[in-house]
């Protein structure tokens, strides 16, 4: 076997290992769903104010995506960066709002400080967190545990499997909320008229 063939084989083996770990995590996540999931879905769907989603680093990317998905599905939602929140933007938070704080370890100081402000304002707070004994979990009024198996990490610092778990949990919540609300294609088109998606559905309804 040539050196290039060996490198190819090693790369494929590593990639398969990573994908299998992530697949196993998602299966375990599905089996572990409990009442905390349903409580979170109800909090989001019944929120009379805005649903704010926050996080830093990789969690911020997942939080932004979740806020977008919720908004596309008719739930008024926005991403709030904790650093912006600590520099005046927390003024947007109101008592009828919901703040979802995402953090794998639950010890991000910026996120935890924003949660403290939200609690003071009477905002309902929910922690999406891996470590249920963390400061974030203790600070929030509700906790949605998102466990993940041992993940492959680049130099021990880049989260991979946990990111997949957090994103998948958000997808599951969005799906349940849409189903419970009876959200229709006609409503979706109103919030998503642009791009190839909007064009395709407009063409379908015009025929």
pLDDT at 152 over 70: no
pLDDT at 202 over 80: no
**Angle (CA) 24 25 27, round 5°:** 65
Q: What pLDDT is recorded for position 41?
A: 98
SS3 state of residue 65: helix
pLDDT per residue as tens digits for the range 155-172? 656 778 899 999 999 999
Given this structure, which CATH class describes domain 3-199?
alpha beta
Token pair recorded at residue 131: 């470590």
The end-to-end CA distance of the chain, in Å, is 58
pLDDT per residue as tens digits for the range 44-75? 999 999 999 999 999 999 999 999 999 999 99
Q: What pLDDT is recorded for position 187?
A: 62
Mean pLDDT on 13-32: 92
Mean pLDDT on 181-199: 65
Q: What pLDDT is recorded for position 190?
A: 62
Q: How far apart are CA 201 and CA 85, in angstroms?
A: 37
pLDDT at 13 over 70: yes
DSSP code for 86: T
The ranges assigned to domains in the chain are: 3-199
pLDDT per residue as tens digits for the range 76-132? 999 999 999 999 999 999 999 999 999 999 999 999 999 999 999 999 999 999 999
SS3 content of the chain, % helix, strand, coil (to 5): 60, 10, 30
**C-beta separation of 41 from 180 below 8 A:** yes
**Torsional class of 76: left (φ above 0), alpha (ψ -120 to 50), beta (otherwise):** beta
**C-beta separation of 76 from 44 below 8 A:** no
Q: What pLDDT is recorded for position 159?
A: 79
Contacts of 194 (CB under 8 A, 6+ apart): none
Q: What pLDDT is recorded for position 148?
A: 82
Q: What pLDDT is recorded for position 186?
A: 67
Please count the CA atoms within 13 angstroms of the CA of 124 that sit on its side-chain side: 16
Tell me the whole-structure pTM to 2 decimals.
0.89
Q: What pLDDT is recorded for position 156?
A: 57
Contacts of 138 (CB under 8 A, 6+ apart): none
Token pair recorded at residue 86: 């600590």
Q: What pLDDT is recorded for position 178?
A: 93
């Amino acid at each position: 076997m040539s050196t290039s063939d060996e490198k190819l084989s090693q790369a494929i083996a590593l990639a398969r290992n990573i994908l299998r770990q992530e697949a196993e995590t998602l299966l375990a996540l599905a089996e572990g769903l409990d009442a905390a999931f349903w409580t979170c879905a109800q909090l989001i769907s019944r929120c009379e104010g805005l649903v704010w989603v926050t996080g830093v680093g990789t969690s911020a990317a997942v939080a932004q995506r979740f806020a977008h998905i919720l908004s596309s599905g008719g739930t008024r939602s926005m991403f709030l960066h904790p650093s912006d929140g600590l520099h005046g933007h927390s003024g947007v938070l109101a008592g009828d709002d919901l703040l979802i704080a995402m953090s794998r370890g639950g010890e991000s100081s910026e996120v935890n400080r924003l949660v403290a402000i939200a609690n003071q304002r009477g905002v309902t707070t929910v922690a999406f967190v891996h470590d249920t004994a963390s400061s974030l979990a203790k600070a929030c009024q509700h906790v949605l545990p998102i466990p993940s198996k041992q993940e492959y990490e680049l130099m021990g610092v880049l989260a991979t499997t946990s990111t997949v778990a957090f994103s998948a949990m958000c997808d599951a919540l969005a799906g349940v909320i849409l189903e419970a609300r009876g959200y229709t294609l006609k409503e979706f088109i109103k919030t998503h008229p642009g791009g190839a998606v909007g064009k395709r559905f407009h063409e379908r309804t015009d025929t």
